[in-house]
A and B are shown apart, each in its own frame.
Chain A
Amino acid sequence: MAAFSYFPGCSLKATGVAYEESLLTLFKILDIPLEELEDWNCCGATSYMAIDEEDAFLLSARDLSLARQAGNRAVLAPCAACYLVLKKTQDYVRKYPKIREHVAQSLAAAGLPMMDGVMVRHPLEVLYNDVGVDVFKEKKVRHWRGGPVACYYGCQAVRPYDEVDRPHNPTRMDELLRAVGVPTVDFSLKTKCCGGSLTGTIHDVGIRLNYILLKEAARKGAQAVVTLCPLCQFNLDAYQAEIRKQTGEGLNLPVLYFTQVLGWALGGDYKALGMRRCISGADLVKHWFAREEVETYV
C-alpha cells in the first residue's frame, strides 16, 4: 500500500499519545507505511477558525502544501479536529476564489506549492475501505476477553463531510470491531457532543455532557467506550472521578481508541498500544489486555 503522510497534530503528541502509539503499532502490523510529515504545524483547529477564518486556512494549507512537496499524496489525520480542518480548508479553497487567492499568495510568499490534489484521509476510513473488514477477520490472533463496548464517533469526523462514515448513523467502527470479535452495543449517542473544549471553559456543562454519554453507554450494557477522536477520549476518560463524586454513580469505564482495540486483536503489545495510559477503568484494562499470552489460531 502507498505510504501516507502522517499528520499527528498536537493531540497525538500530548494527551492523545496512546492514539499515536496504537496507530503506529496497528499500521505496522498491517504493513501500511506511515511517514510523519516533516516540519508540520498546528492545524488551527476550531478555535482559530472562530477568530480569524481567513488566516486560519493558511495554517492547514501549509500542512497540505508540505505533504504535496513531500510527494506523498494522501495525508493521514487521525485527530478528528485536524481531519475536519484540513478537509474544510480543501473544500473552501476549492469553492471560494477569494480564499483560494489568499492561500495561493501566502503559500507562494513562503516558497511553497499550491496544496491542490492532496488527499486527506482518516484512519477509520482507510482501515474500512483500503484494508477491509475481511482482512481483520483473517488477521485476528486474539480472543476478545472484555465485555461489550460502545463505539463513539463524536461530531467532527462524520460531519459535515461524509467520507469517514454516514453522518447520522455511522457504523464502520462497529463493523471493524465486530470483525475481530468485539461485541458492540446500539449506542444511540454515538455522534452526540462530548463537550469539546467546554470542559475547560464552561466546566459544568462539559461535565454534564460527558456524564450523559457514559451513563447511556453503561445503561446499554457497554463496559467500555471506544472512540476515534483524542478530544472525545480525553473528555470521557479524564473526568470520570469528578463525575462519580458529583453524581454518586459508580461510572468507571475504560475509554479506548479503536486503534488500541484493533491493534490488540491483531497481536499488538500492551505497552506498544499505549494501554497503560488509560485513566478510568484502569484495572479493567489491565485485566482485559495485560496478560501476555497470544492465542494464535488458523
Chain B
Amino acid sequence: MFEQNGSVRIGVYICHCGTNIAATVDCKAVAENAATLPGVAVARDYKYMCSDPGQTLIQQDIKDHNLNRIVVASCSPHLHEETFRNAVAKGGLNAFYMHMVNIREQDSWVHTDKKAATAKAKDLVRAAVRRVWFHRPLERGRVNIHPDVLVVGGGIAGIHTALTLANAGKKVYLVEREATIGGHMAKFDKTFPTLDCAACILTPKMTSVKAHPNITLWTYSDVTRVDGYVGNYKVQVTRRPRYVIEDLCAGCMQCIEACVFKQPKFEDEFNLGLGRRKPIYIPFPQAVPQVALLDPEQCIQFKSGKCKKSCVEACGERHAINFEQKEEIKEIEVGTIVLATGFKTFDPARIPYYGYGHYPNVYTSMEVERLVNASGPTGGEVVLRDGRHPKSVGIIHCVGSRDVSTNRWCSRVCCMYSLKLAHLLKEHTGAEVFNFYIDMRTPGKMFEEFYQRLLNEGVHFIRGKVAEVTDWALDPTEEGKLVIRVEDTLSAFVRRIPVDMVVLATGLEPQDDAQEVRRLFNIGCSTEGFFLERHPKLAPVSTFTDGIFLAGCCQGPKDIPDTVAQAGAAAAEALALIDAGFVETEPNSAYVNEEACAGCKTCIPLCPYQAISFLEDRKVALVNPVLCKGCGTCVAACPSAAMQQNLFEDEEIFEEIKGVLSYA
C-alpha cells in the first residue's frame, strides 16, 4: 500500500460536542472500533475536540505516537475544518493529512436511534480511515485581492457601504437600478423613534456619494454578468438609456417645464401613484444624480415621431436630450462585492378582506409616508382619495406578516413605523387614531419610550387581529365610513370601529427578482427568499461565496439603524480582505496526468471557470490552479481518467466508498 515517511500511522479523534453528538452516538464505542482498523495507531473520544485541550491532544499524539494521518469525527467541515487543519499543521504535519468526518449534522442531529446512529458513525469513520491512507501533502495557493469594490443597490445600506469604503481610500462602483439612489428611505417622511426628517439625514449622504472622487455611481443600471472568484471578479454592468446624457444634463428642469404635456399626466412611481409626472421627469427634488430621464412608453416622440420636441429646444446648447441613446455595457474588475439590494413591501391586495384596491380610502403605509411628506404629492396635507380629510384613522399592524397563509416572519419594522405614522397623522390632521396590533414589538434604543409617548398622546391601541375592513353599516354612525371589525382580545368582545381612513402596515418581503440575483452572484437564499448569511450569529454579513457580502434588508427585514450597522460591517469585511492583499485558496484544484491525456479536449468547454487550456505543442490539457474552483466536472468527464483532483483522487474516493460499505 501507499507509504510515505515510513508506514502510515493514523490518529482518530471522536468528538462528543458536549451532548450534541454523545447523546445519540456512543462515541467511546466508535473510538474503540476505530482502534481496531488497519493503520490506526491511536483512537480517542473527547468532550470538545475543537477546544484548546482537544487540539493539544492531537498535537501531543503526533509527537508521542509518531502519527502521520489524522481523522477527526465531529461537526461539519464548514465549521471546524480550518481549526483542525491549523492544529495539525502546528503539530508539525501537513494540514492536508487531516480528514474530517461529519457525525453531527449528518448523524446525531438527524437520527434518534442511538444504536443505528453509532453504527453509522463507525461506518463513516472507517471510510475516512481508509481514505487518509492515500492523502498527500498539499500546499495552498494564493490569490491577490483586487482593491476595487462593487456595491449593488443604492438604498441607505448601499450608500453607507460605498461611503465607508470610499472614505477608506478604496475605489467603489455603486450600481443602482432605479434612476436615483436613496431607495425606500428617500420616500419616508420621518424616522422612528427620534422623528428625524428622513430626507434631512439621507440627502447629504446621497450628495456625498455623487461628489466622492472614489465612487463611480451608475444609476438606471443592472449587473448583468458576474464571472471570476474572490479577489478577481469580472462584472458586466448594463446601463439602460435614460435618453438624457448624464454628463451634459445640469438638472435645470427646463425640459420638464417645456414638455408638450402641459399638465403632469402619468403615474408618479416615486409617490406610488398618488401624484402625477410628465414623460420627462426627475424622480424627486433631491434625486441623485440630478438628471432628468425620459419614459419612452409615454413620450410622444417615441410613440409617433411627430412631437415638436420642445424639450430639446429648452435644453438648447447643452444637447443633453438624445432620443437615440442606446444601452451601454460596462466591464469592470473588482475584488469584492457587497449586495445591498433591499426589499419590497407586501402587496396587500393578496388579503382581499382588508379591502386594498377595493375601497379607495385604504392605504399602504408607504403611501401614507408620501401623503404626510411635505414634498409629497399633497404637500403634506392628508387628503383622502375622495377629497375628504380624515377625522379618524385605523392602522392595521402585521399585514402580510406573522401569518401562515402569507409570510410567517415578523417584519420587525412595522410596529415602530405604525407608531410613527400614528403620531404624524394625529399631528397633521388631529384625527382620532386607532392601532390594531397582535403584539407590540418595540425592542430597540428609545423604542419602548416612543410607544409610551404615543400612549400618552391619546392614540388608541386595540389588541387583536383585524377580521376585515368593510363598508357595511349597521347604524347611522357607520354610514359612509370604513368599518374595522376586530376581536378586542384584552376585553374579549368583538368591536366595530368606523373610521375614515385605513392604513395597512405592510410587511417586508424579498425583492421579486431575488432568486435571479442570487443565481447571478452564486449565493444562497433562505426558505423565505432573503439572501443567506454564512452564519446567522458569527458571519452575519458574509455569504458562502468568498468575497461577496450582504448589507441591509436583502438579508432579512431590519430598521435603518440595524441596516447602517450591517452596511458598516460589510464594508469592514471587504476592507479586511483588501488590506490583507491576498487570500489562500483550497488546494483542491484539478490537474492533468499528461501521460494519460489523449488531447481530446472534452474537458475544456465543460469548465465553468475557463480554467483549462490546451497545450498545442504537447497536445495535452492544462489546468490553471488559480482559476480552478475544484468543482470536479472535468474529472468526471475525462474519458481516459487523465484528469485528477487534489483531495478527491480516485483512490481516495474508492477507498472511502469501500470503507463505508464494509460492515465490520
Contact = CB atoms under 8 A, between A and B. Distances in A.
Contacts of A189: 470, 472
Contacts of A212: 472, 474
Q: Secondary structure at chain A's binding surface: helix, strand, loop or mixed?
A: loop
A212 B474 CA distance: 7
Contacts of A145: none
Contacts of A216: 472-473
A205 to B, nearest CB: 14
B472 A168 contact: no
Interface residues of B, number: 8
Contacts of B471: 186, 188
A31 B472 CA distance: 40
A169 interface: yes
Interface size class of A (residues with CB under 8 A): under 10
A125 to B, nearest CB: 19
Interface string A150-173: 000000000000000010110000
B473 A166 contact: no
Contacts of A186: 471
Contacts of A291: none
A198 to B, nearest CB: 17
A219 B352 contact: no
B353 interface: yes
Nearest to B358: A169
A27 B352 CA distance: 33
Contacts of A169: 352, 358
Contacts of B470: 188-189
A186 B472 CA distance: 10
Contacts of A219: 472-473
A126 B287 CA distance: 54
Contacts of B358: 169
A166 B474 CA distance: 26
* Most chain B beta-carbon contacts within 10 A, residue among A166, A189, A219: A219
A118 B296 CA distance: 53
B504 to A, nearest CB: 15
Interface in B463-479: 470-474
B472 A188 contact: yes
Interface in A64-90: none
A216 B475 CA distance: 10
Contacts of A166: 352
Interface string A169-197: 10000000000000000101100000000
A186 B401 CA distance: 29
A186 B358 CA distance: 10
Interface in B446-504: 470-474
A205 B353 CA distance: 24
B5 to A, nearest CB: 61
Interface string A215-244: 010010000000000000000000000000
A193 to B, nearest CB: 13
B356 to A, nearest CB: 12
B131 to A, nearest CB: 44
A168 B473 contact: no
Contacts of B473: 216, 219
Interface in A12-34: none
B353 A168 contact: yes
A216 B474 CA distance: 8
A186 B360 CA distance: 14
A189 B485 CA distance: 13
Interface in B227-270: none
Interface string B146-186: 00000000000000000000000000000000000000000
Among B352, B353, B472, find the residue whose CB has the most chain A CB atoms closer than 10 A. Answer: B472
A7 B470 CA distance: 36
A168 B353 CA distance: 7
A219 B481 CA distance: 14
Nearest to A166: B352
Nearest to B469: A188
Nearest to A217: B472
A196 to B, nearest CB: 19
A181 B602 CA distance: 70
Contacts of B352: 166, 168-169
Interface string B336-365: 000000000000000011000010000000
A172 to B, nearest CB: 15
A24 B492 CA distance: 49
B496 to A, nearest CB: 11
Interface string A99-116: 000000000000000000
A188 B474 CA distance: 12
A195 B474 CA distance: 17
Nearest to B355: A188
A248 to B, nearest CB: 15
Interface string A117-151: 00000000000000000000000000000000000
A189 B474 CA distance: 12
A166 B358 CA distance: 15
Interface string B20-33: 00000000000000
A155 to B, nearest CB: 14
Interface of A: 166, 168-169, 186, 188-189, 212, 216, 219
15 contacts: A166-B352, A168-B352, A168-B353, A169-B352, A169-B358, A186-B471, A188-B470, A188-B472, A189-B470, A189-B472, A212-B472, A212-B474, A216-B473, A219-B472, A219-B473
Given A168-B353, A169-B352, A219-B472, 14 more contacts: A166-B352, A168-B352, A169-B358, A186-B471, A188-B470, A188-B471, A188-B472, A189-B470, A189-B472, A212-B472, A212-B474, A216-B472, A216-B473, A219-B473
Interface of B: 352-353, 358, 470-474
- Give me the 10 closest cross-chain CB pairs, A-B, nearest first: A168-B352, A169-B352, A216-B472, A188-B472, A188-B470, A168-B353, A188-B471, A189-B472, A219-B473, A212-B474
